[in-house]
Amino acid sequence: MGEAKRRAAHNAPPFTLLTEAARSEKLGIDPFPTAFDFIYGMVEAVFTKAGGVNHELIGIDFENGKPTGVNVLLVNNVEDVPRLRARMLERWAMVAHVFEAWAAPDVSVPARAHPDRYDIVAIMLNTSEFMAVANCRVDVAAKTIERAELMIPDDVQGRLGRSIGPRTMVS
């Protein structure tokens, strides 16, 4: 039985690139809250069982604005994330980026050097046009994770408060 599945997967036609019209149809009107609920549930289950999460990119399948499945890719090199995320967005309507990090109550010093730093699991939800993020505070010793508010930026500004305007995907 396993051999037949492998053969079928090997002989499957290559996927077609997702058009923006198809992405929009799959995502629906406001996909971020439902996608966050879906991914947070996965992350919470893994964190409470294992006490941590892997650094991963998750391609999220959508139908009519609702997540229907995932494809998880473990990240080995942080430098590869932008390229991998861009490639995954060619196939999936949304890609989640999940990783553990430090956060701090203020920006007086970088979080890694802040005396009051704390652990978080960052959940970033990306489409081809938008991004939302939630920094979920964790207690590693107790293996607990707090559900954070999902933040969706409505304005992008530069370091000095200047409005940046739309960016192209080309660097």
Q: What is the pTM of this model?
A: 0.81
Distance CA 149, CA 132 (A): 10
pLDDT band per the 50, 70, 90 thresholds, residue 159: low
pLDDT, tens digit, 9 for 90 and up, residues 56-82:
999 999 999 999 999 999 999 999 999
Most distant pair of Cα atoms in the chain: their distance:
61
Could you give the percent of the chain with pLDDT greater than 70? 81
